[in-house]
Amino acid sequence: MKKTDYVSASELAKWREDNKPEVCPILGHENFTPVVDHDHKTGRIRGAISLEGNALIGKIENFYTSRCVNAEYDLPVVLRAVAAYLEGPQGPLHPVGVRQVTKRFGRTDKQTQITVLQVAGASSEEIAACKNSKQRTALYRKKLVK
């Protein structure tokens, strides 16, 4: 192994700064503190990424290694399949999904709620009849499940 094929602990900080990308290649953060990510199987550095991106990769790899032992595909193939699945067409609303979306709506500010209700097809009269966030949330739910 030649010297350039190994980065010592004392050289790691310099390597990290010399190889910091403009944005985190995992999460797209522009302003981030880089960490040096490495492959736990090979021990080789993959790059400098954000701490959050590194934690995400770690959780995914650990779950895949421990829980997906019978997977037919390697992790990169699985992740591409996950991306395609997530970007694919969506079907009707799920009952739990309605609850989640409605709850998230209820936590938004009044103007956002009004805008979302307008997009959802609520009339000006229906919106004006809502005296508070709870009533706007109930109207939103009604518009979702109609």
pLDDT at 1: 44
Res. 2: pLDDT tops 70 = no
Dump pLDDT digits (tens) for 7-19: 999 999 999 999 9
Res. 124: pLDDT tops 60 = yes
Q: Where are the domains of the chain?
A: 3-87, 95-145
Rounded (10°) CA dihedral 23, 27, 28, 34: -20
pLDDT at 6: 96
- High-pLDDT (> 70) share of the chain, %: 97
Domain 3-87: which CATH class? Answer: alpha beta
Q: What is the pLDDT averaged over residues 112-133? A: 98
Sequence-distant (≥ 6) Cβ neighbours of residue 60 within 8 angstroms: 75, 79
- Cβ(144)–Cβ(93) below 8 Å: yes
Dump pLDDT digits (tens) for 40-55: 999 999 999 999 999 9
47: part of which helix (H) or strand (E)? Answer: strand 45-50
Dump pLDDT digits (tens) for 67-111: 999 999 999 999 999 999 999 999 999 999 999 999 999 999 999
Sequence-distant (≥ 6) Cβ neighbours of residue 40 within 8 angstroms: 61
pLDDT at 109: 98
Q: What is the pLDDT averaged over residues 100-125? A: 98
pLDDT at 19: 97
Residue 133 has a CB neighbour count (10 Å cut-off) of: 15
Mean pLDDT of all residues belonging to the chain: 96
Res. 3: pLDDT tops 70 = no
